[in-house]
């Protein structure tokens, strides 16, 4: 067997020289745990040296694409391990953004919080016509840390990104498509099939170089914003708000200010 993963199901699509990757933790709403991150990273490393693969489809088992992090796993980690966990998540997202293949994310019918940031690693996103995207970062006590501010702003405009995240907006597929977050919505498999057929007919060299040109125009800005996002995310994690149940009160802002001061590498102007 070419791929032997516990949290991913990988299927070869020889007709389109494509690979379909399914997040395979449906009983946990396909939440990201450390094993899944390692397996996604392993697959990305394999793809870097297999230019014969035209495209990669990241999808999931079940109707839910990814509901974010596995909180049960995070809660039992020490701070050092949690920060390494977040760093690996960022590394995985960056790795897929930099791959020579065209990355397509099928966001299915439901995606929330860090699942949305995983989808931002893709070049193209599609979703079910009844899909809903839950920008629930703040409700869960998280700060977007891997493109949920910078990359999202580039895609849908700063105004939309600003409002969607700060309002914890649930955005339906039609609105997401009109804003540029997804390319298309579907009610059958024809949209994805047609997309894979189109990519398979493209010049591989032209495709790879075009993606590289797009990536080079944004990666410096992305790296800079990532440093800032990481500091904010680590500071917010110190409050343990993300551990709290729905009826528990979040940390007050005056208490949070101390965490900001101790976690930023440079003082805020």
Structure tokens at 64: 């839910």
Tokens 């729905």, located at residue: 246
**What confidence score (pLDDT) does residue 83 get?**
84
267 C-beta neighbours (distance < 10 Å), count: 6
- pLDDT tens digit string along 11-49? 999 999 999 999 999 999 999 999 999 999 999 999 999
DSSP state of 6: S
- pLDDT tens digit string along 92-127? 999 999 999 999 999 999 999 999 999 999 999 999
Query: How does DSSP assign 102-152, residue by residue?
Result: EEEEE-BTEEETHHHHHHTTSSEEEEETT-EEE--TGGGT----SSTTHHH
Q: Does residue 74 lie in a domain region?
A: yes
Structure tokens at 208: 């790879």
Instruction: Tell me whether strands 64-66 and 102-106 are parallel, antiparallel or unpaired.
Output: unpaired
Report the distance separating Cα 160 and Cα 153, nearest Å. 7
Q: Does residue 86 lie in a domain region?
A: yes
**More confident position, 250 or 173:** 173
Supply the CATH number for residue 170's domain: 3.90.226.10
Q: Does residue 195 lie in a domain region?
A: no
Q: Does residue 80 lie in a domain region?
A: yes
b/e string for 247-263 if b means 16 or more Cβ within 10 A?
eeeeeeeeebeebbeeb
Instruction: Tell me whether strands 170-172 and 132-134 are parallel, antiparallel or unpaired.
Output: antiparallel
What range defines the domain where residue 146 resides? 1-189+201-269
Number of H helices, E strands in the chain: 10, 10
The separation between CA 47 and the C-alpha centre of its own chain, rounded to angstroms, equals 18
Sign for the CA dihedral angle at 154, 128, 113, 96 comes to negative
Angle between helices 253-263 and 204-238 (to 10 degrees): 120
Q: Does residue 150 lie in a domain region?
A: yes
- pLDDT tens digit string along 165-214? 999 999 999 999 999 999 999 999 999 999 999 999 999 999 999 999 98
- Specify the pTM: 0.89
Mean of the per-residue pLDDT values for the chain?
A: 89
Q: How far is CA 33 from CA 8, 30, 66, 74, in A?
A: 12, 9, 11, 8
Report the distance separating Cα 177 and Cα 187, nearest Å. 14
Number of compact structural domains in the chain: 1
**More confident position, 83 or 114:** 114
pLDDT class of 258 with cuts at 50, 70, 90: low
Instruction: Tell me whether strands 18-23 and 170-172 are parallel, antiparallel or unpaired.
Output: unpaired
**More confident position, 236 or 129:** 129
Q: Does residue 194 lie in a domain region?
A: no
Q: Does residue 196 lie in a domain region?
A: no
**What confidence score (pLDDT) does residue 211 get?**
94
Q: What average pLDDT score do residues 223-230 get?
A: 69
Angle between helices 34-48 and 79-98 (to 10 degrees): 30
pLDDT class of 266 with cuts at 50, 70, 90: very low
């Amino acid at each position: 067997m070419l791929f032997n993963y516990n949290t991913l199901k990988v299927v070869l699509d020889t007709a389109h020289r494509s690979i379909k990757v399914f997040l395979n933790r449906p009983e946990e709403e396909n939440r990201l745990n450390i094993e899944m991150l390692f397996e996604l990273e392993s697959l990305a490393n394999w793809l870097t040296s297999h230019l014969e693969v035209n495209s990669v489809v990241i999808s999931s088992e079940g109707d839910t694409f990814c509901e974010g992090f596995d909180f049960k796993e995070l809660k039992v980690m020490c701070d050092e391990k949690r920060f390494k966990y977040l760093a690996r998540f960022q590394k995985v997202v960056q790795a897929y953004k930099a791959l020579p293949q065209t990355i397509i994310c099928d966001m299915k019918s439901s995606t929330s919080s860090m699942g949305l940031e995983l989808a931002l690693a893709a070049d193209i996103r599609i979703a079910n016509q009844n899909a809903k995207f839950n920008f629930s970062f703040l409700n869960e006590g998280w700060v977007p840390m891997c493109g949920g501010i910078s990359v999202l702003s580039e895609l849908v405009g700063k105004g939309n990104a600003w409002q969607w995240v700060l309002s914890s907006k649930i955005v339906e597929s039609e609105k997401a498509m009109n804003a540029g977050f997804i390319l298309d919505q579907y009610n059958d498999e024809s949209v994805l099939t047609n997309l894979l057929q189109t990519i398979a007919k493209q010049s591989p060299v032209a495709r790879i170089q075009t993606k590289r040109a797009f990536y080079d125009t944004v990666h410096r800005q992305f790296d800079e914003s990532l440093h800032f996002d990481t500091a904010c995310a680590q500071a917010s994690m110190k409050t343990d708000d993300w551990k709290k149940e729905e009826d528990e009160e979040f940390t007050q802002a005056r208490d949070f200010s101390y965490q900001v001061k101790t976690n930023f590498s440079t003082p805020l102007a």
